[in-house]
Amino acid sequence: MIHSRLGCSTISFRHLPLDRALRWIGSLGFAEVDLGALPGVCDHVPYVLDHDAVAAVTDTVRASGIRVRSINGDIGDLNRPLDTDGRAARDTHLAMLLELTAATGAQALVLPCGAIDHQPLQSLDDDLDLVARELTRAAERAARYGVEIWTESLHFYRLCWNLERAQQLTDRLAGTPLRLVMDFSHIVASGGDPEEFVDRFGDRIAHVHIRDAVPGNINLSVGRGVVDFARGVKALADKAYAGHFALELETRDVTNDQRPAATAAAAQLISDLI
């Protein structure tokens, strides 16, 4: 039995069209999803997003009967300064993603913590200041739609790739409504400890992604890496974490035919821990 607080990201079935991915997820017993909207990672939401595309995706989700917890999106490199045209394009894309978030009944739009590069574009302080300003600006706009902005504050491939940079970004977000997405795999791939992440940021964690990892590699199925999920889930419980979890199995160690069984096994293990 899958725990009611455990969902599945559509990224786990990114090789399928959205309607088929949702059917598989539902058939495995999940009642909710995170909806992948990441160009080059998961194309379940078109990158060129207009009102018609929002309506089409919303209709597909509603037809599935599955709830959407969050939408995992990207509006560009938040540490990159914008000219007038760039600002207009980012604002338009953000507006469409927020419209989709509201239309699907999702709680939040998840945005990243900077470009896919550990090196800052200016200085580290300048880049982190800009990321924090862009996230805060997005949160202010999200409030008009009745939804939240969460950020994956530690992402192994992006600017804030380890615990120290996640700390620096989170410090800059103090006093804002922004909350954090914790991803076990990114923490472990960066050489960090999930328990330390929970200890530092527990009161700001809004959502948790589940995937296994070893240092340097985030793309492993649950049970094939070194993540100690039992300790991590207990640390969250000890901090009175009451949010939800999602299997985000962007794995490369199973075939697509093996993916449903691997997802079901991961769901059972994590459900037992929750």
List, for residues 92-116, the tens digit of each pLDDT value. 999 999 999 999 999 999 999 999 9
Predicted confidence at residue 226, as pLDDT, reads 98
- Altogether, the residues listed in the chain come to a count of 274
Q: Give the integer Cα–Cα distance in Å for 211 and 223.
A: 9
Q: Which pLDDT score is estimated for 51?
A: 96
Which structural domains are found in the chain, ordered by start? 6-273 (3.20.20.150)
Q: Which residue has the tokens 């989700």?
A: 61
d(CA 229, CA 249): 15
Q: Which amino acid is at 169?
A: L
Q: What is the pLDDT of residue 39?
A: 86
User: For residue 103, what pLDDT is reported?
Assistant: 98
Q: Which residues of the chain fall below pLDDT 70?
A: none
Nearest CA to 82 out of 137, 124, 41, 149 is that of 137
Per-residue confidence (pLDDT) for residue 47, from 0 to 100: 87
CA atoms lying within 13 Å on the CB side of residue 96: 22
Q: What is the pLDDT of residue 40?
A: 85
Q: In 2-80, which ranges are continuous DSSP H helix?
A: 18-27, 51-64
Identify which of 188, 126, 119, 106 has the alpha carbon closest to the alpha carbon of residue 154: 188
CA 273/CA 137 separation, integer angstroms: 37
